[in-house]
Amino acid sequence: MAKEKIIILGKGSEVIPLLQKIYDISVLSRQNELLGTLSETTAVLVIIDCDELESKSQGKKPFKLGLAIYKEIKKRCPVIPVIMLSSSATIPEAVEAAKLGVNDFIRKPVEKSKFLSSIHEVLSREESMEIKLDPRLAAVGLLGIGQKIKGFFRSIETALSEKKNILFICEPGIDCSSLVVILHKTSMIKHKLASVNVMPFQKDNAENMFWTMLQGAVADSDLLYFENFSRLDSDHQESILEYIKNRNPKGHIRLMASMPEINISKVLDDWINIPVPSLRDRKEDFTFIAQAYIDIYSKKYGKKITSIDLDALSCLALYSWPGNYRELECVLETAVIACETEAIKLKDIQMGSLMLSEFILSAQAENLMKFRKKAEENITKVIYYKAGSEDLAANILDIPKTKLVENLRK
C-alpha cells in the first residue's frame, strides 16, 4: 500500500525522522516551489515549519511569514489541511492562526506522541464525509483584538511566567474546558495536560474511582485542570488540593480551575484570579466574534452566508447576553439555518422575550430622550411665567438658574 504524501515547507529537520517511516515526505525550501505544485499535488497534508523558512529576507517574523504562506495555500488549494510549527509564536498569534483555519498549531520542540496524534486526527477529520467543527473553535470567545482580550492574554502570560496556579473567573456561557485546552496547545506550557472532573467525588459509590483517577493524573501530568471544581464545598476542595500537595512536594505540578465569582473559595485565595472577559464587555470585538460563528455554521450546513446586515447586527449588539458566547453561538446557528440569502437579516434572528424587550427599549431610547427634553423645556417655561421671576422659578424647579435660562431660550 502506497504511503500518504506529506509536504514539509522548511527544512523540517526536527520532524522528518518522526514521519519518514510512516509517510512519503517531500521537503521544499521555498514558498514558490510549494505554491507551484499545489494544483497537481497528491499530498494529503502540508506542514509549515515557520522557524526554518528561508524567505526571512522579506522582513517578516517567521510566524507571520508562515501565516502569509498559509493564506496563499488556501487560495490555490482550499481543501488541503495545514499544520504549523513554531517555537516563537505568542498566544494571540496562535489564536489568529486558529481563526484563519489552520488545522493545528504545534509549539517546538515537538513531542513525538502529540505530534503524530495531531497528524492522525487532522487526516482522519479530512477523510470523513461528515462535517465536524474544529474543537478549537469552541472557544471563539478568544478571538479579537480589543483591550479586554489583550489584557486577558497578558494576565495569563504573567501567571505562566511566574509558575502560579490559575483560577479563571467566568460567567455562565463561557466554555472554560475548551479555553484551557487551547491555551495549553498554543501557549508556552510544554507540560502534559490532564482534565479532572471532580463531580464523581460527590457520589459515595464513585469516590474510590475518583481518587484512583486523580492519582493517575498526578503521576502522569504536569498541568491539571479541575472541571466543575466550583460545585464542591470548600472541605472537599481542600482535601483534593492537600492530596496533590502531599504528592507534589517540589511544587512542579501546576493547577487550573474555573469558578463563578460568587463561589470563590478561601481554599483558592492564593491562586492568581483571572476574569474571563464576558461578551457584553467586548463590544469592540462583537462583530468579529459574530462573523466567526456565522462562518463556522455556514460551513457546517453547506450555506454561502457571508455577512450579517446592519439591522440584525444592531439587534444583537444591543443585547446584554447573559448566556455569553454560548448563547450567541446558539442564536447565530439558528439564524444560519433560517437564512435564505447571503446575509443574515433581522427576520432570521429568533428573539427570546429578554432580547426582544431590550431591542424595543433601545430602539425607543432616542425618542424617549427627545420627549423628556422637550417636556422639561415646556414645564420650565410654564413655571417661569407663573412665578414671574427667574430666581423663583429656578427655586421651585430645584435647578440652577443657568439651566433655567438655557431652557427658556429654546
Digit-coded pLDDT (tens) for 293-319: 898 889 889 998 888 888 888 888 888
Topology adopted by domain 141-277: Rossmann fold (3.40.50)
For range 316-339, the mean pLDDT:
88
Q: Compute how many other C-beta atoms are within 10 angstroms of the C-beta atom of residue 179.
A: 22
Cell of 114: 502529540
The dihedrals phi and psi of 133, each to the nearest 5 degrees, come to -80, 140
Which pLDDT score, from 0 to 100, does residue 133 have?
32
Burial class (CB in 10 A: 0-12, 13-18, 19+), 353: exposed
Q: How far apart are CA 48 and CA 32, in angstroms?
A: 13
Three-class SS of residue 275?
Answer: strand
Cβ 377 vs Cβ 407: under 8 Å: yes
Residue count (the chain): 410
User: What are the CA-CA distances from residue 274 to residues 10, 75, 204, 408 (Å)?
Assistant: 38, 39, 33, 52
How is domain 280-350 classified at the architecture level of CATH? Orthogonal Bundle (1.10)
Digit-coded pLDDT (tens) for 182-240: 666 655 455 677 888 877 666 555 666 777 778 878 777 778 888 888 888 888 888 88
Q: How far apart are the first and last CA of the chain?
A: 88
Digit-coded pLDDT (tens) for 131-156: 233 333 445 667 777 788 888 888 88
Cell of 70: 498559509
Q: How far apart are CA 41 and CA 190, in angstroms?
A: 34
Residues 6+ away with beta carbon under 8 Å from 275: 152, 168, 169, 170, 261
**Amino acid identity at 398:** D
Q: CATH: 1.10.287.610, 3.40.50.2300, 3.40.640.10, 3.40.50.970. Which one for 5-128?
A: 3.40.50.2300
Burial class (CB in 10 A: 0-12, 13-18, 19+), 339: buried
With the C-alpha atoms ordered 170, 173, 178, 182, is the resulting torsion angle positive or negative? negative
Partners of 194 in beta bridges:
224
